[in-house]
Structure 1
Amino acid sequence: MGRLDQSFIKSGNDLVFRICLPSMLFLSTASTHLSESFDRQLIGFGIALTLGSIALLSFVGRRWLRKGRLRVFVQGAFRGNLGIIGVAMVVNAYGESVLPKVGVFFAVLTLLYNISAIVVLGGGQGRGLVVSLAKNPLVKAIFAGSIWSMLSLPVPEVMHTTLSYLSDITLPLALICIGAGLQWRSFQSNLVPVAWASAYKLVLLPASAVIIGLLLHFEGQDIGILFMMMASPSAAASYVMADQMTDQGAMAGEIVAMTTLASAITTSIGLYVLASLNVLGL
């Protein structure tokens, strides 16, 4: 309708990347008791699965995608919306008692996701990588929140309320900017990598998490956490970072849009199948 121009999209993305998303990451990490709910096996498996995914996607994608599109393809396919959709699904399934466990899982993987995204999008270039990590507002927020949590510092009510307001803006504003920035011509030219990234994110990754998890004797709640976290759609932050660090922001937005729309179907089917097989511990 022409109501949102490129200036709004650019300013909105910058606001999400530098203020809103860091506020959400700091608040969620600072409010989590990291030491009390650290499940080494579950977190270790999540880390291994993520790093394995990045290696596999990079190896496969390298054969048919040029560098810029390859980096966005890899990030969109491995990086899930854990904090907003993944955690919400797990808590809805198992109740608030699971929040400390899934909260630590989320905090560790979010840090890994952001560091990995910087490596992938930046090409992993030596000193430039270290500088990018040091300057990245998302990494700063997670480290600050982790230190806050380890020192057991309370979050003052005024601070909590302010950060909550900013956190609540994150997903709606990011999705508005994604929608406003979608271009049909770009979508047509990116359709194949976007479709493959979406298929990996919504089907292959969660299926692999469950199958390998069962072979490693994970069961019940742990299988549920793995499935629901890995089956979440691509994170809106993947679009924000790609838009800031590459010239392929449109493709990143298309992956987020497609996975967000399709995840309602794929996640529902996956939960139905797993519940029928009695492996979720519900």
Structure 2
Amino acid sequence: MPASTPPPEVAVTALFQALWPLFALIVGGYFMRRKGFPGEAFWPAAERLNYFLLFPALLASSLAGAPLDDPGLARQALAVVLGLGIAWLALLLVRRMRGWNAARFGAIAQGVLRFNTYLGLAAVGSLYGKPGLTLAALMLALMVPTVNVMSVWALTAERGISLRALLLPIVKNPLILACVIGALLNVSGIGLPGGSDRLLNLLAVASLPLGLLCVGAALQPQELRAEASALGWNCAVRLLAMPLLAFAIARVLALPALESALLVLFFALPTAPTAYVLTRQLGGESSLMAGIITLQTLLAGASLLLVMGLIQALG
């Protein structure tokens, strides 16, 4: 679908056609794992392969050819920082009012701030093609380290954490390293010579469908039975309030159509499945985190269609 805004009735149809295959893969991953196919050992190995090789290849190849000298990038970066900053301040205020401990606050904060990168880039590729993926990679280069720092701090605020312990997971994150490598290849003028662009593109093509299958495999519906109130309002904030905030910021900063759509899309995504791993590692409420991930992912099919359809209708 082109970056320009089509008529609303065409936009809704195009959105549905672009998004339903993505959620079909998520549902497929869920049932494949529950049926034991191709085997329990496959899913952890697939997640590692995607996280450490295939998905970094997608980010590096996208950034290696991105227009980093575009003057509009500064405004896009400001929009991202404003959106995350406002949400973070609101979370701190609510935490103070409700008296949440770090274990609970860490899960709730990740439910509001983090986003499913696999689903995001798959949706961008389906809706906006290569130009959208290039801009999305630039946004990820800023958003991934920012939300990771916020997430670690939220889970460890009570017991304190050293600067080294806070930044080390960020420095070692393969997605962030891929963004840095791609940007360095770009600004150095080296690019991706000698067919290396083709190699990375082949790896990248495999990353998104495998990632979506893994998202489905990680769903834990059994965790939806408790904490109904917390799950409900957290999903409403992430899937509805956050994209509305992004839309307001895009309007205030007068972002172009494609940049506005991508900002709203990333703020409308369900939270990241990897939030569960981080929550367990740092002693957070892992059952609440699993419930948030599962419910947000299940509701995202309808909420993304609603939010993006409204955004396109409003122009």
| TM-score normalised per structure 1 | 0.76
Residues 84, 145 of structure 1: alpha-carbon distance in 2 compared, 3 angstrom cutoff: farther
- Kept in 1, the 8 Å contact 2:276–2:290? The answer is yes
Residues 264, 147 of structure 1: alpha-carbon distance in 2 compared, 3 angstrom cutoff: same
Moved over 6 A (4+): none
1:114 deviates by 4.0
- Kept in 2, the 8 Å contact 1:76–1:256? The answer is yes
Corresponding residue number in structure 2 for 1:73: 108
Q: Does 2:225 correspond to 1:188? A: yes
- Kept in 1, the 8 Å contact 2:76–2:259? The answer is yes
1:49 deviates by 0.9
| TM-score normalised per structure 2 | 0.69
Using CA pairs below 8 Å that are at least 6 residues apart, which structure has the higher relative contact order?
2
Structure 1: which amino acid aligns with 2:262?
I
Query: 1: distance between equivalents of 2:222 and 2:201?
Result: 37
The residue correspondences of 1:244-255 to structure 2 (distance < 5 A) are 251-255=288-292
1:34 deviates by 1.8
Mean Cα displacement is larger for which, 18-27 or 97-106? 97-106
Quote the RMSD (CA, aligned, Å). Answer: 3.6
Residue 204 of structure 1 aligns to a residue in which SS?
helix
CA deviation map 1:132-190 (0-9, x unaligned) = 33333333222222222221222246544444444444444444444444444423235
- Kept in 1, the 8 Å contact 2:124–2:136? The answer is no
Residues 10, 35 of structure 1: alpha-carbon distance in 2 compared, 3 angstrom cutoff: same
- Kept in 2, the 8 Å contact 1:29–1:107? The answer is no
Corresponding residue number in structure 1 for 2:15: none
Q: Does 2:181 correspond to 1:148? A: no
Structure 2: which amino acid aligns with 1:205?
M
- Kept in 2, the 8 Å contact 1:81–1:232? The answer is yes
Residues 234, 28 of structure 1: alpha-carbon distance in 2 compared, 3 angstrom cutoff: farther
Q: Does 2:272 correspond to 1:232? A: no
Residue 34 of structure 1 aligns to a residue in which SS?
coil
- Kept in 2, the 8 Å contact 1:20–1:169? The answer is yes
Mean Cα displacement is larger for which, 7-16 or 39-48? 7-16
Structure 1: which amino acid aligns with 2:54?
C
1:75 deviates by 1.8
- Kept in 2, the 8 Å contact 1:178–1:239? The answer is no
Residues 96, 148 of structure 1: alpha-carbon distance in 2 compared, 3 angstrom cutoff: closer
Structure 2: which amino acid aligns with 1:196?
W
Q: Does 2:64 correspond to 1:30? A: yes
- Residue identity over aligned pairs, in percent, reads 22
Q: Does 2:76 correspond to 1:39? A: no
CA deviation map 1:68-100 (0-9, x unaligned) = 34213212321234565368448736x755665
Residues 269, 180 of structure 1: alpha-carbon distance in 2 compared, 3 angstrom cutoff: closer
Corresponding residue number in structure 2 for 1:137: 174
Query: 1: distance between equivalents of 2:132 and 2:53?
Result: 28
Residues 154, 35 of structure 1: alpha-carbon distance in 2 compared, 3 angstrom cutoff: same
Runs (5+) with no aligned partner, structure 2: 1-33
Corresponding residue number in structure 1 for 2:36: 3
1:205 deviates by 0.6
Structure 1 residue aligned with 2:161, among 125, 128, 138?
A: 125
Q: Does 2:298 correspond to 1:261? A: yes
Runs (5+) with no aligned partner, structure 1: none
Query: 2: distance between equivalents of 1:169 and 1:179?
Result: 16
Residues 251, 177 of structure 1: alpha-carbon distance in 2 compared, 3 angstrom cutoff: farther
- Kept in 1, the 8 Å contact 2:243–2:268? The answer is yes
